């Protein structure tokens, strides 16, 4: 794509730069800034599960960042729903691996909201970059003595000059016991991609409201609103058939959009988190392995996934970017 004789260092157009935050609650956090040379730019937060804290396409912001901003994992509080105190959302917050959904007690173990993996720093993170592909690799453990011994290996890949990125995760049980294993990709759309003008489509076969409050507006699950004071969140479960799942959004005012694709046999549900509040203005499109009943609730219903000793499970979410209504309409 780029004629090498016209430039010096590759980062004139594409590549990865490592930075460290100074000051505030994010002090000391390592961030990898990635540019692919054709308008895809994102930030990988090494100290927060190698999640994507920022994402833009052709200079237009796509993600929501919560009012708390960056917070070092040292500030994480695992009691109940105190996860929210350091939940910066970003484009991706990974939830799991021992719980997703509501905080609860499972046997003698207290499980926090959405688990702890999103607040775990990568033990090891590195990147490779050439004229064809940029890859960020990370190894994130979730282990403790007498309990689970799980590890997550993540590869975020983005073609140079392309219009996509891919998140590929491998979860491995290196312990000697069978363990519950849950994962949810908390992917968060924000302004200006998200506004009352945004078009949202999901190729689900069934849409199920999570609460009675959400059920009141089931017919308009795909209609976005202006920021509204006192808005109460509405969540919907999307279930898919055998086809590859696709959730997409486009804003004609912003002129950009994206599509999320994943294998519904591996991640059979998507939660739509419709939160139209003032300042708390976000649309979550969240592929996940199980519903948000928490580990205890899933165990009681017989729907709790497990991972056996020595077993590996692989998960992948692909993101495609576009800048026209025609591309949005044709994305499957």
Per-residue pLDDT of the chain (332 residues; tens, 9 = 90+): 678 888 888 888 999 999 999 999 999 999 999 999 999 999 999 999 999 999 999 999 999 999 999 999 999 999 989 999 999 999 999 999 999 999 999 988 999 999 999 999 999 999 999 999 999 999 999 999 999 999 999 999 999 999 999 999 999 999 999 999 999 999 999 999 999 999 999 999 999 999 999 999 999 999 999 999 999 999 999 999 888 999 999 999 999 999 999 999 999 999 999 999 999 999 999 999 999 999 999 999 999 999 999 999 999 999 999 999 999 999 98
Q: Is 310 exposed, middle or buried, given 0-12, 13-18 or 19+ CB atoms closer than 10 A?
A: exposed
Q: Domains of the chain, with CATH numbers?
A: 4-330 (2.70.98.10)
pTM of the model: 0.97
Do 163 and 319 contact (CB within 8 A), yes or no? no
Phi, psi of 325 (to 5 degrees): -65, -35
CA distances to 5, 55, 82, 302 from 234, in Å:
53, 24, 20, 26
Distance CA 12, CA 7 (A): 7
In a 13 Å sphere around the CA of 198, the CA atoms on its Cβ side amount to 29
């Amino acid at each position: 794509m780029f004629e090498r004789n016209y430039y010096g260092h590759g980062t004139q157009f594409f590549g990865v730069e490592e930075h460290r935050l100074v000051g505030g609650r994010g002090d000391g956090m390592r961030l990898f800034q990635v540019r692919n040379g054709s308008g895809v730019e994102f930030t990988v937060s090494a100290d927060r599960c190698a999640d994507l804290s920022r994402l833009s396409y052709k200079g237009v912001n796509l993600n929501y960042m919560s009012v708390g901003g960056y917070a070092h994992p040292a500030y994480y509080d695992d009691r109940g729903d105190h996860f929210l105190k350091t939940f910066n959302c970003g484009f991706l917050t990974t939830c799991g691996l021992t719980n997703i959904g509501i905080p609860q007690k499972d046997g003698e173990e207290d499980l926090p909201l959405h688990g702890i993996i999103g607040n775990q720093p990568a033990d090891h993170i590195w990147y490779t970059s050439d004229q064809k592909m940029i890859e960020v690799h990370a190894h994130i453990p979730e282990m403790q003595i007498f309990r689970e011994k799980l590890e997550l290996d993540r590869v975020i890949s983005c073609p140079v000059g392309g219009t996509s990125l891919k998140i590929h995760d491998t979860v491995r049980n290196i312990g000697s016991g069978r363990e519950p294993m849950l994962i949810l990709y908390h992917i968060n759309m924000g302004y200006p991609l998200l506004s009352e003008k945004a078009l949202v489509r999901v190729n689900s076969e069934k849409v199920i409201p999570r609460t009675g409050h959400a059920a009141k507006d089931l017919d308009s699950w795909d209609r976005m609103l202006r920021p509204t004071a006192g808005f109460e969140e509405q969540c919907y479960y999307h279930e898919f058939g055998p086809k590859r799942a696709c959730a997409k959004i486009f804003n004609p005012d912003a002129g950009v959009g994206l599509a999320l694709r994943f294998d519904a046999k591996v991640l059979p549900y998507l939660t739509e988190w419709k939160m139209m509040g003032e300042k708390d203005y976000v649309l979550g499109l969240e592929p996940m392995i199980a519903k948000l009943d928490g580990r205890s609730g899933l165990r009681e219903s017989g729907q709790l996934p497990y991972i056996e000793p020595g077993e590996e499970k692989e998960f992948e979410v692909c993101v495609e970017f576009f800048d026209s209504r025609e591309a949005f309409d044709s994305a499957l």
